[in-house]
Amino acid sequence: MMHKHILSLLSLFTVIALLSSCGAQRKDGGYSSGSSNTTTAPSGPSASQWRNGVKGTWVLNSVTRQDIPQSYTVKNIFDEAPVDCFIGSVWHLPTGNYKGSISFNASGTLCATGAVRTIIWSIHNPGNGGEPEFQFKKLYAGDKASNVTTGYRLGLSFADGNSLTMKMPVDLDNGSRGYLIFNFSKQN
């Protein structure tokens, strides 16, 4: 009897350890292009698994387009700067109070090389079968996070110990939607 009880406890701890150590991995893109049924359970990782997969320090290596014509101009992202200014930026996403930063390294006419933007980040869990999203809001000197009412959300596509991929929806002039794909690598 005692032997079965110990085996049951060991099995339970093993399952818990496996589930809590799993990073977030999903390669379908984070946003579906077709219709979605919100009554079904999410097919990807949970919000806490994404939080564990996203935390750390990341370098934005590239931003690619999905369903956005090359002729379409994306003037700026996050109400901050052109896409090119974000290439090479370092996103520090620590645990704890989720106060992080984005450090800019790109040079260009509209880029602020060396600038550091303080952010508060989290994983938004929409519930009702919706997929978790990365969200952040920018904090300027003197701001309290609770007083900042605007922010940004990105679809979570993939995260492991070495790479992170997120998608930003872009509404196009013709009424359709495309995405900017953010490709990060872990900084050691």
| Contact between 125 and 22 (Cβ < 8 Å) | no
- pTM exceeds 0.85 for this model: no
Q: What is the mean pLDDT of residues 72-88?
A: 94
Model confidence pLDDT, tens digit, residues 150-181: 999 999 999 988 999 999 999 999 899 999 99
Residue bearing tokens 């260009």: 108
- What pLDDT score was predicted for residue 29? 45
Q: Which residues in 56-79 are b (16+ Cβ under 10 Å) and which e?
A: bbbbbeebeeeebeeeeeeeebbe
At residue 84, the 3 state secondary structure works out as helix
For 167, the token pair is: 């998608």
Q: What stretches of the chain show up as alpha helix (H) in DSSP?
A: 2-21, 47-54, 83-86
At residue 182, the 3 state secondary structure works out as strand
Model confidence pLDDT, tens digit, residues 40-59: 444 678 888 888 889 999 99
% helix, strand, coil for the chain, step of 5: 20, 35, 45
**pLDDT band at residue 100 using 50, 70 and 90 as cut-offs:** very high
For 145, the token pair is: 């996070």
